[in-house]
Amino acid sequence: MKSLDPRVNRLPVVGTAGNIIPKAALDQFGTFEVFVQPKEGKPFQHEGAVHAPDLEMAYVLAKETFTRRFTCTSLYVTDTRDVYISPTTEGSQNVYTLIEESATQNNTKSSFEIYHLLKRGKQHQHIGTVEASTPEEAMFIAKQQFSSDKMVYNVWAIRTNTIRFTTPEEKDLWNTLPEKKFRDASDYKGGDKLKSFLERQS
Amino acid sequence: MYGGGNTFEGIQTESLQEDPVKLAAFEARIDRGEKIEPVDWMPQLYRKQLIRMIEQHAHSEIIGALPEGTWITRAPGFKRKLALMAKVQDEVGHAQLLYSAAETLGKSREAMIDDLISGKSKYSNIFNYPAYTWADACFISWLVDAGAIVNQLANAKGSYGPYCRALERICAEESFHLKYGHHCVIYLATGTAQQRQMFQEAINRWWTPMMHFFGPADRISTHTQVLMKWKVKMSTNDDTRNQFLDMYIPKIWELGFTIPDEKLKKNQETGRWDYTEPDWEEFKRVINGDGPCNKERLEVRRIAEERGRWVRTALQSPKAAYIMPLA
């Protein structure tokens, strides 16, 4: 096939054009949940998921997918399976009314990050950290510490030590953004050229 | 970059019996302006049509990057190369966001990618046409993107939470694409006679696919009405096309170019644009595989898949397992 695409003409062809060989069966990577801090001092919020073979690659892919442009000062990721989820409520029912004191407790405590869903259609937001021995206990402690008049519809708890955080040295990952003016709408001013063209026409 | 045309056909709905109580609660939620989230109950038709729509949108981002991507090395000047590279990266990134949103409805990413490569899934028909010259690349950057943005801004007000959130992010990143595209076209329009001719020829080549982009006129069926009530489809194909013409025909004319359609003019009585119906037989033929670039587009995608396999194999780790993302 004569193509306009140099990749098609220049490179050795693996199959025949139009005769598409089926690719290998499902070989899907696991998912990792991505949390982004949009501005310094703002809480982290859930942004979405990436597929990756491990936590470290998930971090790299999350950086590429969710932190383009001026929307991020820090980022972290965790395996989807490490997120503990409360039931979801609606209307005037606060989810904390469903969370009871957990029966299973022991003395080996670890820290959990707690996230609230405050409005349907919005993202989960980080609200604070608690010390607990189980995710259930973490949610109960969160109820005591973080429940207020504000309606909460869903709570997530994640063991802090399962999260891949951005280290202080990595913070400069996002420092290059201001240099890339060519990705900024304000860098494309054609108005003067257009105006003088239109004046010549009339 | 997605036009929304030809998305809502071919699913049998008669057999889909839904629980009337759950359906009423679902519709009441949409009427209240609330978003539907992955954990919520939803009708089968809603789920199927959304998967189909978001998946087609994601494929369109991937395939749409191909006709422009080939122009990166030949873009005039370093700055245009940088910008085009950033734009193409954006489009591919948008596909990633959209695949994630579609996955929350229960179709796995690999299944979607398989369906693209095997030709089972569709993508925006306009990308089955070739970009012969730099002016074609400029037409895509400005006008095809503009059409996609009209459609995406409408869809961002839809009812499915993960799709809306992905679209908000996409629209924010795309703000520079349109300005960049217009800038490129202004440079051609105010340049030499040859440059002007190049862009005029690009308009002549792309006008029919551009009119096809928004899809054929919707048959006013109960099906369409239900999808509009559920805020899956946000406006009719004709309305979206009309909105695009309203916004961009004056800008094309301002630059002194002509549109290859003698009937094209704004009807002062109806406030809408009159135009010659594009050849819908051609549209059907091309979307079903017989266009100038269909085979090549899928082949390039498949080559990328084959060539990238070693990376995935190298990264393979037995620890991670697939489960559906949360939101």
Give the per-residue pLDDT at B326. Answer: 77
Pairing mode, if any, of strands A125-132 and A110-117? antiparallel
Structure tokens at B316: 């393979």
Residues 220-259 of B with CB under 8 A from A: 254-256
Give yes or no for A9 touching B (CB within 8 A).
no
Rounded CA-CA distance B234/A93 in Å is 31
Q: What single string gives the DSSP state of each residue in chain A? A: ---S-HHHHHSPPSSBTTBPPP--S--PPEEEEEEEE-STTSPPEEEEEEEESSHHHHHHHHHHHH--SS--SEEEEEEGGGEEE-----TT--GGGG----S---S--EEEEEEEE-STTS--EEEEEEEESSHHHHHHHHHHHH--SS---EEEEEEGGG-BPPPGGGGGGGTTGGG-GGG-GGG---HHHHHHHHHHH-
pLDDT band at A19 (very low <50, low <70, confident <90, very high): very low
Q: How many domains does chain A have?
A: 1
Q: B161 contacts in A (CB within 8 Å)?
A: 120-121
Residue whose pair of structure tokens reads 């993202």 in the numeric block: A123
Nearest CA-CA distance, residue A1 and chain B, Å: 8
The alpha-carbon gap from A107 to the nearest alpha carbon of chain B, in Å, equals 29
Q: Give the model's confidence band at B253: pLDDT under 50 very low, under 70 low, under 90 confident, else very high.
A: very high
Cβ contacts of A68 within 8 Å, gap of 6 or more? B90, B93, B173
A198 part of a folded domain: no
Lowest mean per-residue pLDDT among A18-32, A63-77, B248-262, B279-293 = A18-32
User: What pLDDT does residue B220 have?
Assistant: 65
Domain chopping of chain B, boundaries: 26-303
Domain assignment of residue A181, yes or no: no
Q: What is the pTM of this model?
A: 0.89
A4 touches chain B (CB under 8 A): yes
Residue A5 lies in a domain: no
Q: Summarize pLDDT for B153-206 with one digit per residue, the tens.
A: 999 999 999 999 999 989 988 889 999 999 999 999 999 999 999 999 999 999
User: A-B interface: how many C-beta pairs under 8 angstroms?
Assistant: 184
What architecture is the B26-303 domain classified under in CATH? Up-down Bundle (1.20)
- Residue of A47, A51, A59 to mutate, interface with B, max B Cβ within 10 Å: A51
Closest in B79, B108, B317 to A26, CB measured: B108
Q: How far is CA B209 from CA A162, B167, B296, in A?
A: 50, 24, 18
In this complex, is the C-beta atom of B118 within 8 Å of any C-beta atom belonging to chain A? yes
Burial class, A23, CB count within 10 angstroms (exposed 0-12 / middle 13-18 / buried 19+): middle
pLDDT tens per residue across span B134-158? 999 999 999 999 999 999 999 999 9
Chain B residues 39-58 within an 8 A CB cutoff of chain A: 39
Residue A71 counted as domain residue: yes
Q: Is B322's CB within 8 Å of A183's CB?
A: no
Task: Determine, yes or no, domain membership for A39.
Answer: yes
Model pLDDT for residues B6-16, shown as the tens digit of each residue: 544 555 555 56
pLDDT band at B207 (very low <50, low <70, confident <90, very high): very high
Residue A69 lies in a domain: yes
Mean of pLDDT over chain A: 85
What is the model's pLDDT at position B1? Answer: 64
Distance in Å, alpha carbon of A138 to nearest chain B alpha carbon:
20
Domain hosting A114: range is 27-166
**How many Cβ atoms sit within 10 Å of the Cβ of residue A149?**
5
How many angstroms away from the CA of A142 is the closest CA of chain B? 21
